[in-house]
């Protein structure tokens, strides 16, 4: 099942910064390859009307003065301590559970930093977020950004991360245990009849009920707006007048929301792999579905040029490669193949689809995907695709899952009304989704149903973010990005009053630190010297 990693819960595949996640896994073994789906909203004409309303609605700036009820939060002094990762310190802060009622209780936020190494004048803190929603920013900075970002950036900035509320170390939302998650991830996500549809609905209900039972109060207060307000407390506690920030994927929505709420405090913001906050969830899911199809066609063209491509002879068209992959999925639907898993898991259609989608985030994974498909299709060995799927779900070798998928659903289902309310609505929308992606459309449409059963109602709606008065903000889009289609970057840049659009002509999810010296030089110049690129600059 795909969720706004943006498979939908109201979810979609938004996604984590996949390349950096892969590097982090190699460097420290802390992060698995992963990526998520975006919430969809309504169906039929309601989608159009919601999109029209969002074109008029804009996120409202908060007052510049700190409310008296929040001064104690802004005045906190973090007690930094060693936390087992060389060079990093950790601390815990408090934020109000409910900003409308600050006296009703707190939420604890986990924070980490690695101080600027020098030489050169310190530029303050650089907060980073890898996306999701649900990705651990602390895991990301400790395993990758704090040691893998350009040396000149790390020399001038304290590298900082806070896990958003409900995520990882910050009072994590929990829904299911390992065995139950194994069952959930193997549920048939492309039902062929009423019985299979009932099974999928039952799985979504079980997942939602588990989340509701674990954190009934917290689930009402894990929205992106609340997480952005938390970041302003972090900024103040760190002693920075302005927030400097690099956000990838969903992290761009979080960063843009911060700028919209606090434009006067927005410093140097990089939003890489941007999302469009003005779209309702169903539209987001549909456009993301088309994005995965674009990425798959790139993979298919590359695969067909290689002798080891298991999906068609040399020179096969992308359409033929896609048809062969769909036929393989259908075969797995009838008869899953062995994986050698100690718990007896077999490669189902759902797990195989997740594994393929996971590999779309980074063209560096295409060779691994070809090998995994070859083993499954020709040798009846599904272990390679299972590895890709487990990475996506952040399942470790002992069968334990991180809270990534739980937090992903919790945030997405709160930020936007669900894409669909009933299975019948999904069935009516299938032709549209399958047109967007003949390979993945059916599964991604059904994935957008899960927020229909969420235990709390959405508090957010689609809206524009303008951030009038903010300093220049760099919005980065990749032309063949699977999870955050390039159109979204253009749309966000068109909304933000001070945006500079930077385009990477290439494959994969996000652009910074993925091999383009042009992209990296441009962003480094902005972070280090405050020099934004010319709007519309393109790199390859």
Beta bridge partners of 453: none
Write phi, then psi, for 376 (nearest 5 degrees).
-70, -40
Under 8 Å CB-to-CB from 10, ≥6 apart: which residues? 4, 39, 40, 41, 281, 409, 412, 413, 415, 416, 417, 418, 419, 448, 450, 451, 454, 458
CB-CB neighbours of 223 under 10 Å: 22
What is the distance, to the nearest Å, from the Cα of residue 173 to the centroid of all Cα atoms in its chain? 16
**Residue 249 designated active-site:** yes
Under 8 Å CB-to-CB from 292, ≥6 apart: which residues? 13, 357, 360, 437, 439, 440, 444, 482, 483
| Preceding omega of 133 cis (within 30 degrees of 0) | yes
From residue 534, how far is each of 223, 468, 503 by CA, in Å?
33, 19, 11
| Strands 266-272 and 106-114, sheet pairing | unpaired
**Residue 457 designated active-site:** no
| DSSP strands (E only) in 421-529 | 473-480, 499-507
**Active-site residue, from 163, 509, 516, 520:** 509
**Residue 509 designated active-site:** yes
From residue 47, how far is each of 6, 51, 383, 462, 483 by CA, in Å?
18, 6, 40, 11, 20
Determine the Cα–Cα distance for residues 264 and 159; give it in Å rounded to an integer: 22
Encoded tokens for 33: 């390859």
Encoded tokens for 433: 């989704």
Determine the Cα–Cα distance for residues 321 and 52; give it in Å rounded to an integer: 38
**Active-site residue, from 39, 136, 249, 375:** 249
User: Which of 174, 133, 140 lies closest to 12 in space, CA to CA?
Assistant: 133
CB-count exposure of residue 137 (10 Å: 0-12, 13-18, 19+):
buried
Determine the Cα–Cα distance for residues 51 and 212; give it in Å rounded to an integer: 29
Q: At what angle do helices 423-436 and 194-214 cross, to 10 degrees?
A: 100
Beta bridge partners of 414: none
| Preceding omega of 499 cis (within 30 degrees of 0) | no
**Active-site residue, from 481, 498, 516, 520:** 481
Determine the Cα–Cα distance for residues 34 and 388; give it in Å rounded to an integer: 9
Q: Where in the sequence numbering do the catalytic residues fall?
A: 249, 481, 509
């Amino acid at each position: 099942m795909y969720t706004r990693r943006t498979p939908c819960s109201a979810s979609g595949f938004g996604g984590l910064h996949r390349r950096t996640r892969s590097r982090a896994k190699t460097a420290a073994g802390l992060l698995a390859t992963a990526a998520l789906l975006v919430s969809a909203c309504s169906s039929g004409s309601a989608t159009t009307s919601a999109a029209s309303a969002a074109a008029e609605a804009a996120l409202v700036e908060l007052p510049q003065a700190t409310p008296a009820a929040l001064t104690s939060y802004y005045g906190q002094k973090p007690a930094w301590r060693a936390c087992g990762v060389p060079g990093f310190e950790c601390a815990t802060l408090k934020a109000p559970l409910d900003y409308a009622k600050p006296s009703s209780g707190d939420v604890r936020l986990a924070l980490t930093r690695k101080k600027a190494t020098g030489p050169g004048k310190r530029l303050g803190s650089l907060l980073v977020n890898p996306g999701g929603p649900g990705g651990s920013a602390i895991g990301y900075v400790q395993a990758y950004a704090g040691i893998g970002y350009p040396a000149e950036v790390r020399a001038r900035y304290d590298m900082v991360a806070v896990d958003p509320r409900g995520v990882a170390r910050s009072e994590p939302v929990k829904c299911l245990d390992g065995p139950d998650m194994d069952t959930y991830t193997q549920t048939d996500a492309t039902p062929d009849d009423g019985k299979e549809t009932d099974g999928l609905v039952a799985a979504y209900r079980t997942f939602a009920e588990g989340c509701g039972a674990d954190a009934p109060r917290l689930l009402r207060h894990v929205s992106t707006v609340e997480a952005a307000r938390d970041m302003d407390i972090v900024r103040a506690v760190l002693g920075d007048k302005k927030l400097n920030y690099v956000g990838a994927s969903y992290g761009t929505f979080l960063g843009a929301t911060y700028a919209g709420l606090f434009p006067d405090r927005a410093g140097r913001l990089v939003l890489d792999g941007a999302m469009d906050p003005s779209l309702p969830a169903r539209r987001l899911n549909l456009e993301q579905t088309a994005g995965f199809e674009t990425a798959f066609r790139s993979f298919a063209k590359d695969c067909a040029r290689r002798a080891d491509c298991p999906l068609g002879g040399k020179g096969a068209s992308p359409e033929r490669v896609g048809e062969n992959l769909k036929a393989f999925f259908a075969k797995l639907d009838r008869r899953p193949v062995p994986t050698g898993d100690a718990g007896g898991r077999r490669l189902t259609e759902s797990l195989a689809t997740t594994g393929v989608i996971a590999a779309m985030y980074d063209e560096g994974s295409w060779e691994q995907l070809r090998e995994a498909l070859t083993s499954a299709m020709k040798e009846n060995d599904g272990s390679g695709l299972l590895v890709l799927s487990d990475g996506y779900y952040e399942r470790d070798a002992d069968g334990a899952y991180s809270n990534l998928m739980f937090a992903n659903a919790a945030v997405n289902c709160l930020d936007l009304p669900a894409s669909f309310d009933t299975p019948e609505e999904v069935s009516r929308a299938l032709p549209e989704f399958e047109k967007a992606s003949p390979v993945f459309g059916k599964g991604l449409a059904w994935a957008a149903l899960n927020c229909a059963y969420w235990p709390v109602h959405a508090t957010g709606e689609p809206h524009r973010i303008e951030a009038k008065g903010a300093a220049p903000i760099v919005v980065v889009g990749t032309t063949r990005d699977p999870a955050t289609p390039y159109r979204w970057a253009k749309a966000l840049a068109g909304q933000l009053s001070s945006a500079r659009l930077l385009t990477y002509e290439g494959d994969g999810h996000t652009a910074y630190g993925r091999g383009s010296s042009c992209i990296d030089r441009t962003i480094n110049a902005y972070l280090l010297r405050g020099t934004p690129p010319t709007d519309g600059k393109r790199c390859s």
